[in-house]
Amino acid sequence: MLIDRLIVRIRETRAPIVVGLDPRLGQIPEFIKETIFAELGRTPDAVAEIFYVWAKKIIDRIHDLVPAVKPQIAMYEQYGAAGFAAYARTVEYAASKGLIVIGDVKRGDIASTAEAYSAWHLGRTDITENPTTADFITVNPYMGFDSVEPYLADCRKFDKGLFVLVKTSNPGSRDIQDIELAAGKPLYEHVGALVSQWGEPLIGEFGYSAIGAVVGATHPDETLRLRKLMPHTFFLVPGYGAQGGSGKNLHGLWDNENFGAIVNSSRGITGAYQSGKFATGEKDFAEAARKAVMDMREDLGGKLF
């Protein structure tokens, strides 16, 4: 089962880490942009190629250190069909290097629309299997069970997984997710209980479900409550590094076997060459990313495994 493969890879790499691939032109080294813009002009096709080349170089330097990457589809979609194609190529390349891919797509709609999203991102369309599907994707549950059900069906059919938004890392999450319900508990706890229930049919041999939850590193107290409420739910944890989360915030994530979560870092790794202790010349940007991964592994995995 997919969730078991993720846990095995975390154990093998000693790194409960997923590297977020959130390409922004301002973060990408000039030597990559200059070469491709000179060849293709300042066009969406050029930006898509820049994003792919950048991600490929990062993947080449970190794939042996971490179990997974998480490309953020919005960064690609803003450049239209060319950007979407670059996202698909990035997913395919990461998979070819043995990485588990978490597609950060945050889809959330109902009925046939959800089925269509799921067909592309997790399964197959009516006429062909999609060779560039991610292993997991992120989804938004705030339209209710019928917005999640089509994904659950494809997870069972194609051995895929979800990370469902429960308590996100952004400061504004409190505006909705912390609202107190009539029963006296916050909304995110109610959603967490639902996610745990939805995941029961997909629990693997290590006791975790392929239906996981997004729980931010910036909310340590809420994390502790959710871990107790959701003992069989694997957490995807954003907010480490650039958003202020650190290893000391995450002590409540792990079970007695040191499993239970995978922590995301995006800019802290891919932008490490630009500032901080791994700052270097831009041509060494991928090597700086590798050093940042090793530093994060020590902060997290080095204390666990």
CA-wise closest residue to 192 among 137, 246, 235, 239: 235
Tokens 């639902």 sit on residue: 194
Q: How far apart are CA 156 and CA 176, in angstroms?
A: 30
Q: How far apart are CA 208 and CA 233, in angstroms?
A: 6
CA distances from 193 to 197, 227, 231, 287, 294 (A): 6, 11, 10, 41, 35
Q: How far apart are CA 118 and CA 149, in angstroms?
A: 10
Residue 210 neighbours by CB under 8 Å, 6+ apart? 1, 2, 3, 136, 155, 159, 160, 161, 162, 199, 202, 204
Q: What would the DSSP string read from start to end of 139-186?
A: E--TT-GGGTHHHHHHHHHHT-EEEEEEE-SSGGGHHHHTPBPTTSSB
CA-wise closest residue to 189 among 225, 147, 233, 140: 225
- For 231, other C-beta atoms within 10 Å of its C-beta total 11
Pair of tokens at residue 302: 């080095």
Q: Which residues pair with 269 in a beta bridge?
A: none
Catalytic residue among 57, 70, 97, 106: 106
To the query of whether residue 106 is one of the catalytic residues in this protein, the response is: yes
Pair of tokens at residue 252: 């409540």
Q: Known catalytic residues?
A: 106
